[in-house]
Amino acid sequence: MSTALHKVNDAMEWNQVRWTEAHQIASAMGADDDALPADGVTPEQHFRAMREQLDRGGAVRFLGHALPRLEALAWAARVLESEAHGRELKRADRQALDFSLRWLGDPSDQCRRAAKDAADAAGDKSPERLLAYGVFFSGGSIAPPDLAPIPPQPQLAGQFAASAIEVAAYRAADASAAFDRALDLGERVAADGLPALETA
């Protein structure tokens, strides 16, 4: 990563992130008490420290949990779209990505459940499958429509979004570069929200 990019990112404030301290996010992720960031460390500071230490996977997971669910899933969808450019996706994987994108344009329960059906049909190890499951677990009931509602655990959408990005990065020819592209974009989303994806 260039020095110029570091300077730009250091100036970014994460306006879209509701957490004020990094240990809150790490705790929500299930980190052990002795692995929590110190009190007073902001999410931005912890994220940038992880990047400096080249803990790219950890930084993706941290940001996936830090962002609101919609922003996390939209970030992951844009990353998967970009990384799939020029790659022949299996039909079921492409459909899982397409149904996730459809839900982002129309976040209805019908589209959410359609994304889940597409995820069930996608490849077991595909990032597109993980993204579509993230959509399903983003809100609303995870029980069948004719049964009493069961809400999803709140961290699942971000967890699936981050996992989708990780798998997509490792599928790329240059995983480190793919991670860095995803993290640069994710930090812009943390600062500016969904409009950051319109100019990406």
Note the pLDDT tens digit of each residue in 89-140: 999 999 999 999 999 999 999 999 999 999 999 999 999 999 999 999 999 9
Domain membership of residue 21 (yes or no) is no
Domain membership of residue 36 (yes or no) is no
**Alpha carbon distance 34, 113 (integer Å):** 39
**CB count in 10 Å sphere of residue 188:** 19
Domain membership of residue 148 (yes or no) is yes
**Alpha carbon distance 92, 191 (integer Å):** 33
| pTM score, whole prediction | 0.92
Under 8 Å between Cβ of 102 and 81? no
User: Read out DSSP for 57-117?
Assistant: HHHHHHHHHHS-HHHHHHHHHHHHHHHTTT----HHHHHHHHHHHHHHHS--HHHHHHHHH
> Which stretches in the chain have pLDDT values below 70?
1-11
**Alpha carbon distance 61, 63 (integer Å):** 6
Three-class SS of residue 174? coil
Domain membership of residue 56 (yes or no) is no
Domain membership of residue 91 (yes or no) is yes
- What's the pLDDT score for residue 10? 57
- What is the number of structural domains in the chain? 1
- What's the pLDDT score for residue 9? 52
**Alpha carbon distance 128, 98 (integer Å):** 9
Under 8 Å between Cβ of 128 and 164? yes
Structural domain range at position 118 = 69-173
